[in-house]
Amino acid sequence: MADQVAIARRFKGPPEFGQGGYACGLVAEHIGAPVASVSLRKPAPLETPLDVRLADNTVSLLDPAADTVAEGGPAELDLDPPLPPSIEEAEAASARSPSRRRPELHPFPTCFGCGVARDAREAMRIMPGPLTEGDTTPLAATWTPLHEFAGPDGAVRPLFMWAALDCPTGWAAVPPGEDPHVLARLTARPASPATPGEPHVVVAWLISREGGKSWGGAAIYGPDRELCGLSEGLWIRLRDPASHGAVTT
């Protein structure tokens, strides 16, 4: 299989690179399995043709230098997500988000998934905050998918589900004020259709931490509290935040 994709600047995470979940979703689209796991090997360049290659049941994105940007394949995902709060409770939690209370702590304020400097009319702006004042996890937020995220069946395309399932895992895994981290691997299962234009509840929680690595989980619930998506993200601390254009304080 040979194909090409490119990440438009709109879908950036760090200022000059693609949002990790979006890049992983581009790989997952070619895997064709209910659950996939995608590892990011290097930052995904913007506005650059990336070759999609399939070999030995692994799908890879290659940059113009033939370096691997991301690769993944079918996987399993065994998580027990928290029950969803109400829309009102999730909105109240999001109001407690560090992105809103202390936006200077956001390492990537223009991120497509969670950037405080982005407009909800063209980005996701999923900003999880603690369900209980003073706690650090679980977190919750709301997300109303844009109509343009829909596929031919009218439901949100899996690509945008992958993008939505990225950042919440990081906010749960990495405490506010820590050195900037970036997504290294995302394992996700878009479970059932999400509906554009309808408010959904996003829940995120800490799974574990070990040195410079942190794991977080995320779940997206639909208007009828049905599970629409589930993910586990591995985040790694940046040795050089400037290499990704991260804002540091």
d(CA 243, CA 44): 13
Mean pLDDT over each residue of the chain, to the nearest integer: 94
**Residue 135 binned pLDDT confidence (cut-offs 50, 70, 90):** confident
pLDDT digits (tens, 9 = 90+) for 78-112: 999 999 999 999 999 999 998 888 888 889 999 99
131 Cβ contact list (under 8 Å, min separation 6): 85, 89, 93, 138, 139, 140
d(CA 134, CA 129): 10
Predicted local distance difference test score (pLDDT) of residue 51: 97
Q: Residue 18: beta bridge partners? A: 12
Average pLDDT over residues 146-165: 97
Average pLDDT over residues 218-225: 96
Query: Residue 176 above 90 pLDDT?
Result: no
Predicted local distance difference test score (pLDDT) of residue 140: 97
Query: Residue 168 above 90 pLDDT?
Result: yes
pTM of the model: 0.96
Decide: 128 and 139 in contact? Cβ < 8 Å.
yes
Predicted local distance difference test score (pLDDT) of residue 2: 55
Predicted local distance difference test score (pLDDT) of residue 1: 45
pLDDT digits (tens, 9 = 90+) for 12-65: 999 999 999 999 999 999 998 999 999 999 999 999 999 999 988 899 999 999
8-state DSSP, 100? H
User: Which domains, ranges and CATH numbers included, belong to the chain?
Assistant: 2-74 (3.10.129.10), 87-244 (3.10.129.10)
pLDDT digits (tens, 9 = 90+) for 34-48: 999 999 999 999 999
